[in-house]
């Protein structure tokens, strides 16, 4: 049985493999939330997805279950104001651990999520795959891949585009709607993107690559 409380020494025993760190970099650009109870406390990771993505949240839990005390739970959300429909979500949290401090310092400034200035050094193919899993979608009409970047500034989105173009030669444009931005990877770059990620993308998310 997993412990709900860890000693300071037990918390120090936890480390991230390079692969898990790369995956977390991508998730930080997506839906992952890193929180601290106080300025001096260790950060914990919060994973959440709509219940429709149950297979994906369970996949993430399998990757990070050693850092967790409890399994994913389901939450019934309040009815949508416009539609009146109720939706459910699945979520899980990790222990608060020192090994997450670096990520928190990279991605949060005064409590706000940001794109690190050295994102070019951090972003790998695993990062890109899980960023796409979290915040990507496939445009079936135009055969383009879109990455939602609504929470980031235009300057930060330009930084991300520059990394995608420089590192993997992916042709990108920035689209704007309602004052928010998203990245569009063109159909011309789709074969290259598919070749880059098809062997590491979680199976239940392959559709976001048009596969």
Q: Which pair of structure tokens corresponds to residue 64?
A: 């990070």
Rounded to whole angstroms, how far apart are CA atoms 43 and 96? 5
Domain extents for the chain?
Answer: 8-109, 119-209
CA distance to 75, 77, 78, 80, 113, per residue, from 84 (Å): 17, 11, 9, 5, 31
Query: Tens digits of per-residue pLDDT, 34-65?
Result: 999 887 799 999 999 998 999 999 999 999 99
Query: Tens digits of per-residue pLDDT, 106-116?
Result: 999 998 999 99
Domain 8-109, what fold? Endonuclease I-creI (3.10.28)
CA distance to 7, 54, 64, per residue, from 70 (Å): 17, 16, 11
- The reported pTM is 0.93
Q: 8-109 with 119-209: one CATH topology?
A: yes
Tokens 């879109």 -> residue: 146
Rounded to whole angstroms, how far apart are CA atoms 124 and 13? 26
pLDDT at 11 over 70: yes
Cite the beta strand spans of the chain per DSSP E.
33-35, 44-50, 73-76, 88-93, 108-109, 112-113, 136-139, 144-148, 172-177, 180-185
Class of the 119-209 domain? alpha beta
* Cα of 175 vs its chain's centroid, Å: 20
């Amino acid at each position: 049985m997993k412990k709900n409380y860890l000693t300071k020494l037990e918390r120090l025993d936890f480390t991230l493999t390079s692969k898990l760190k790369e995956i977390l970099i991508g998730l930080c650009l997506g839906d992952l939330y890193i929180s601290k109870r106080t300025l001096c406390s260790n950060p914990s990771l919060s994973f959440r997805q709509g219940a429709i993505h149950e297979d994906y949240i369970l996949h993430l839990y399998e990757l990070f279950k050693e850092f967790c005390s409890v399994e994913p739970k389901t939450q019934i959300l309040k009815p949508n104001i416009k539609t009146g429909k109720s939706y459910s979500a699945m979520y899980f949290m990790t222990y608060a651990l020192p090994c997450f401090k670096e990520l928190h310092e990279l991605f949060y400034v005064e409590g706000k999520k940001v794109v690190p200035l050295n994102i070019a050094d951090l972003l790998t193919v695993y990062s890109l795959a899980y960023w796409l899993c979290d915040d990507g979608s496939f445009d079936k009409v135009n055969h383009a891949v879109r990455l939602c970047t609504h929470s980031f500034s235009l300057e930060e989105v330009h930084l991300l585009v520059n990394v995608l173009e420089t590192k993997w030669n992916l042709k990108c444009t920035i689209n704007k709607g309602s004052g928010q931005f998203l990245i569009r990877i063109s159909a011309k770059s789709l074969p290259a993107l598919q070749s880059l990620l098809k062997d590491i993308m979680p199976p239940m998310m392959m559709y976001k690559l048009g596969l």
